[in-house]
Structure 1
């Protein structure tokens, strides 16, 4: 064991004498500068982790330094190793990050594993000619290292893996002829390395040997190499001219990946000795101006994933059996041979083909296998008889003249023919399933589906322009969104409308199946037992043959400047030929029934003939539709809420309605309809039934008990209404804002709701029903054509009941009318005389602002509240009986003086 003497303890200066034993001074923080004397051996970990040592003087007597003797001495700056030392042991100076200068002995034979690893400050280093072995990762991570003469010693026999890995300052290096193998990671990420020279004895280049040496321009003697490891030249993006031997036996995974511009003098690589092209071998590497020809022999059976990804290559696949994923992604496609049994995902994505003949033993076509491929001329696609599955996006983006799917194909996956353009598509009987979006966003002029197909799945023909389609005769179900189509301009290169015949076997068309299919012009149902889902035919036929929208039929009612009567006249009768003909089967067997869901034909342009076995028109079924020649048969017993709201009929017949037909709320609201005869069997007029039907001129109302609220609201063309005896109630806003000028009230009416006739500016009536006891809130407000009205049996008049009836001249408030509520006759500016009979009580402002009121007669026991006649500034005559009661200010300054 060595002895230690302090020369200057305060500054960490010591002299050490004798052999240093194992770990003797390990982790000593007091040592800074040491002078070692009379020492032949420094044991393992002798000065390990002495983090404050800056310099060491070694004696000439030293012959051995143990493993990690100076490892992790972070501040050690320089050291000279005497000539007596022949071996630098493993990790001797590991992580000495401040070590800048090392003088190696001329007697040095071996540099051990990781000896100088992560000596990031180490710069110029001269390797002695005696050196025979450099262990693995010896200089790995020496990011500032340069070699003094840029040559490795000629006596070097062993060069370990990763010796110069991440030595990012190395620029050029010569490897002696004595080296036979360039090991794995040898120059990994030497990003300044430009050239490497080695002799003819090297036959193998290891994995990641030159990985990410992106400034490497040239490398000598590649023709003698027999094997190249995985990712050996990966990302050597400036490596250009290389020559490979035709005797090369192995090229590893991604060996030349992303080399970008590799080429060879004769533009040919002879790989006749290879048994496979491994994954990513030349991925994104062969981008030279000239196409590289790849020569394979009958030994090569497999081409791995990404092998020639995005390369400019031509290759004959005569003997290949397996082609991996992305193998020829966006390359010039090779010629196929019958030897191929498997083609991977995206294997030929984006490739250009001269012709497309598939290997006859291929069983599956993988996802994206031929997506976005192309050919100079239109070609036919004939799938081999061995293929059972075509997977997702397999032929996306292609243009074909004809496609024939053989009976062997059982399943075509989602997006398989997405965004294709096909003249003729034909199935032999056999396919049982089509995946979602199988033909989405495509243009297909003619399509024949196989009888083996029982279900058309969701979104199969999503946004697909079809010229014609023949559905399977055994088809049972069409799923939601199957034929949804809103104009997709890319396919306007062929103009066509679509006719569909639904087979007798069809039982269900799900929701939105043909949503917005603007080119659908003819629909024929052979089935008499079918359910049509919600929104199934929403907006069909809503374009002309050139893709132009028809006149807006949805929002005409929202524009003040567009008179709906004029709108009807603007509809060209020739547009009828563009409407979709909807023909239902007119025969049926017992128990069979047709059901149409909510919103099924919303915003559609159609001619329709209802089936005889249909009894209900669902809610919103034809909302905002344009319907030619509509006739509702007497088999229909119920029409749901808003079923025809906002629709346009040209014409519309009500002659054959079922007498017991039941309507829903607002069934015909906002429709463009001229006249209507309600069935004789109905007992009430539903709320909102004809609300805002501004073209409705006449209505025949049978014996009903009730007219619902808003039933004829805003029917501005309606002039006369006759209500038969038996009707007991008229609901709120029932005729508000309508155009009626006269109405016949039966005495059976006992209630008229709030605002029932408000804003009926043409209405002129002289009495209210005999049994009506109360005039409700705003019932006749703003009825500006009423001049006088008999209220002799009324017991109460509510607020604003006759507000702003500006042509009302006189009024008699009958005896026993318990209350005339606030503003009941306010703003009746033409009112001249008011007679208030016995037992009447007014309210504040009951007759306010009646500026022409001249005569008021008060009879016995009336009560006149404050402000009743506010602002009645023309009062000249008041007749009083002695028992009339007045509040303090009933006239509120309307008279010059009140007594």
Structure 2
């Protein structure tokens, strides 16, 4: 009997090579071709032509990362049958000067031409409907681009950091523009939206939504002063990012919502007037505005979010109104010129003293101004030093921590390079991570007997720290607590948990200072006499002075028990004589 074998239809999924040494590689499903790369791309290929067909099959797509980092490639011609240019297809082809895109391409996928730094212009055919996220981002030489009527969507960051791009026209068919689509284009002075567009509009080169209630993008090359028009109720995330020529901004009172990082890295911004409708200064709103000199937060603002003014290195003063009830982490972090933070007296949540920001009852020190210098004594009411409270305060040379402080927050004194010594009181229970990290001028630290835990890298990078003296038992250590610390750990006789090393540092045992027994002091048999108490085998030096300024050693003795008697037959030769033991 003859058996009929079933006929199988096979689909070729393996890459094939054209018969040439330097050739396109591709895959096929026996219906169409996807270009996957180029053999010899690393050997200096400068020109690539992608045909309309290969082996009779239409070439419809360029695959993911097909020509990734082909740094010698200068020219590419894409056949007219192509419909898709894939993710990162020409990413980092930084010698490319010409890209001829076929007239049937529908999709330019995410990051397709990312970081093509030599590409001066590109013509997008009137077939493309989608320009993906970051499609031309960081193509620094791109100065000319035409967005045809066919495009309906421009993705997130599509032209971000295209520094040479001076203008762009948005057709009336575009219904989606992703966040940061034209952000940090610091040569751009004009964004024009055609009047028939149903979703967007523009005025004076600025991109808005259709009804101009949301400001979406301020062109990065515009400069001088700008007043946000009345009627605008919100500003999109990063709308003014990297607008380096912008010097002054006045917000309309209609504005209620600020997006995150709205004015991020506006290095020319010197002043800003916050409108009466704003409730929230969002995360990073003014961060890295390195020329912003002062800021007043009006009473209508209720929240200042994380790092809102971080790295504003010229900011000298900040005034916080009555309405603020939340200040996020690092809101004024690394403001290295800031000398005064003033809080309105009626504020229910916060207060200030001598330019320092506290919570209302001044039990938590939130922010020491980054431009503060010299010595600082915390109020006795402080029980908590907040995270990063003194971070990067390079001018701080000494700080007095009061006896009631219980916790020292993460990074509380990180990079305080002028700080030379610190005494941590017995009330402190824990020293948090990197609390004193990279304090490169710190030489001596004393740690009270209440500390039971020192967290990771608390003193890491303190490269001149030579003396750490502990008054209590050895605290539990996190990782890398003393990385790059060159010194020794000193601890007292009678405390526990110590070994030959501690956290990788050598240890030295100390004796408690000797005491002069107050109930056995006086003249006996013509000699002045008193009893000294200490620890067996402790060496004691007795010093004398006539003026409490100049001290001279007059007796050295090693205890054989816990006390010894001292007599001074010469005491009567002085009008007054004082004693101390060490």
Q: With structure 2 as the length reference, what TM-score do the two structures score?
A: 0.52
- Cross-structure match for 2:563: 594
Q: CA deviation at 1:581?
A: 9.4
The residue correspondences of 1:434-449 to structure 2 (distance < 5 A) are none
Q: CA deviation at 1:295?
A: 1.2
Q: CA deviation at 1:102?
A: 0.9
Picking from 424, 427, 450, the partner of 1:411 is: 427
- Cross-structure match for 2:439: none
- For the pair 1:537 / 2:541, whether they are aligned, the reply is yes
- Cross-structure match for 2:321: 295
- Cross-structure match for 2:436: none
Picking from 15, 29, 32, the partner of 1:21 is: 32
Cα distance change on mapping 1:351 and 1:232 into 2, 3 Å: farther
Deviation track 1:456-514 (CA, whole Å, cap 9, x = no partner) reads 959xxxxxxxxxxxxxxxxx99x959889xxxxxxxxxxxxxxx9644599xxxxxxxx
Picking from 117, 127, 146, the partner of 2:165 is: 146
Cα distance change on mapping 1:241 and 1:34 into 2, 3 Å: same
Cα distance change on mapping 1:543 and 1:108 into 2, 3 Å: farther
Larger radius of gyration: 1
State whether residues 171 and 195 of structure 1, in contact with CA within 8 Å, keep that contact through their aligned partners in structure 2: no
Cα distance change on mapping 1:320 and 1:543 into 2, 3 Å: farther
SS of 2:135's partner is coil
- Cross-structure match for 2:273: 243
- Cross-structure match for 1:163: 181
- C-alpha distance in 2, partners of 1:126/1:26? 28
State whether residues 22 and 44 of structure 1, in contact with CA within 8 Å, keep that contact through their aligned partners in structure 2: yes
Cα distance change on mapping 1:22 and 1:217 into 2, 3 Å: farther
Deviation track 1:838-873 (CA, whole Å, cap 9, x = no partner) reads xxxxxxxxxxxxxxxxxxxxxxxxxxxxxxxxxxxx
The residue correspondences of 1:835-846 to structure 2 (distance < 5 A) are none
- Cross-structure match for 2:61: 44
- For the pair 1:71 / 2:86, whether they are aligned, the reply is no
SS of 2:320's partner is strand
- C-alpha distance in 2, partners of 1:175/1:41? 43
SS of 1:43's partner is strand
The residue correspondences of 1:503-542 to structure 2 (distance < 5 A) are 503=518, 527=531, 530-531=534-535, 536-537=540-541, 540-541=543-544
Deviation track 1:500-541 (CA, whole Å, cap 9, x = no partner) reads 9644599xxxxxxxxxxxxxxxxx986575558756437x45
- Cross-structure match for 1:699: none
- C-alpha distance in 2, partners of 1:49/1:352? 58
- Cross-structure match for 1:56: 77
State whether residues 205 and 225 of structure 1, in contact with CA within 8 Å, keep that contact through their aligned partners in structure 2: no
Q: CA deviation at 1:300?
A: 1.0
Cα distance change on mapping 1:152 and 1:357 into 2, 3 Å: farther
Q: With structure 1 as the length reference, what TM-score do the two structures score?
A: 0.36
Gaps of at least 5 residues in structure 1 are 1-8, 14-18, 374-380, 398-408, 416-431, 436-455, 459-475, 485-499, 507-523, 550-577, 585-590, 597-607, 611-626, 632-899
Deviation track 1:75-116 (CA, whole Å, cap 9, x = no partner) reads 653245577666544344345454332123467553222322
Gaps of at least 5 residues in structure 2 are 1-19, 25-29, 192-204, 394-399, 419-424, 432-447, 452-469, 473-493, 496-508, 522-527, 574-582
Picking from 277, 280, 283, the partner of 2:307 is: 280
- C-alpha distance in 2, partners of 1:503/1:629? 18
State whether residues 109 and 133 of structure 1, in contact with CA within 8 Å, keep that contact through their aligned partners in structure 2: yes
- Cross-structure match for 1:316: 344
- Cross-structure match for 1:665: none
- Cross-structure match for 2:27: none
RMSD of aligned residue pairs (Cα, Å): 6.2
State whether residues 203 and 227 of structure 1, in contact with CA within 8 Å, keep that contact through their aligned partners in structure 2: yes
Cα distance change on mapping 1:95 and 1:628 into 2, 3 Å: same
The residue correspondences of 1:708-857 to structure 2 (distance < 5 A) are none
Cα distance change on mapping 1:84 and 1:216 into 2, 3 Å: same
Q: CA deviation at 1:135?
A: 0.3
Picking from 332, 336, 344, the partner of 2:355 is: 332
Which of structures 1 and 2 has the larger relative contact order (alpha carbons within 8 angstroms, sep 6+)?
A: 2
State whether residues 145 and 170 of structure 1, in contact with CA within 8 Å, keep that contact through their aligned partners in structure 2: yes
Picking from 200, 203, 214, the partner of 2:234 is: 203
- C-alpha distance in 2, partners of 1:537/1:528? 10
- For the pair 1:259 / 2:289, whether they are aligned, the reply is yes
Cα distance change on mapping 1:49 and 1:220 into 2, 3 Å: farther
Picking from 209, 213, 236, the partner of 1:178 is: 209
- C-alpha distance in 1, partners of 2:142/2:299? 42
Picking from 125, 130, 135, the partner of 1:115 is: 135
- C-alpha distance in 1, partners of 2:174/2:249? 20
- Cross-structure match for 1:495: none
Cα distance change on mapping 1:525 and 1:216 into 2, 3 Å: farther
Q: CA deviation at 1:176?
A: 2.2
- C-alpha distance in 2, partners of 1:388/1:352? 21
- C-alpha distance in 1, partners of 2:170/2:218? 14
- For the pair 1:101 / 2:131, whether they are aligned, the reply is no
Deviation track 1:214-264 (CA, whole Å, cap 9, x = no partner) reads 554355757555444554434433212222233323333443234244368
Deviation track 1:340-379 (CA, whole Å, cap 9, x = no partner) reads 55334758994999x99876xx6546799799x9xxxxxx
- C-alpha distance in 2, partners of 1:35/1:335? 65
Q: CA deviation at 1:27?
A: 2.5
- C-alpha distance in 2, partners of 1:349/1:543? 45
More strand by share: 2
SS of 1:44's partner is strand
- Cross-structure match for 1:136: 156
Count of residues in correspondence between the two structures: 422
Cα distance change on mapping 1:37 and 1:219 into 2, 3 Å: farther
Picking from 258, 268, 286, the partner of 2:296 is: 268
- Cross-structure match for 1:487: none
Q: CA deviation at 1:312?
A: 4.1
The residue correspondences of 1:665-704 to structure 2 (distance < 5 A) are none
Q: CA deviation at 1:124?
A: 2.5
Cα distance change on mapping 1:181 and 1:285 into 2, 3 Å: same
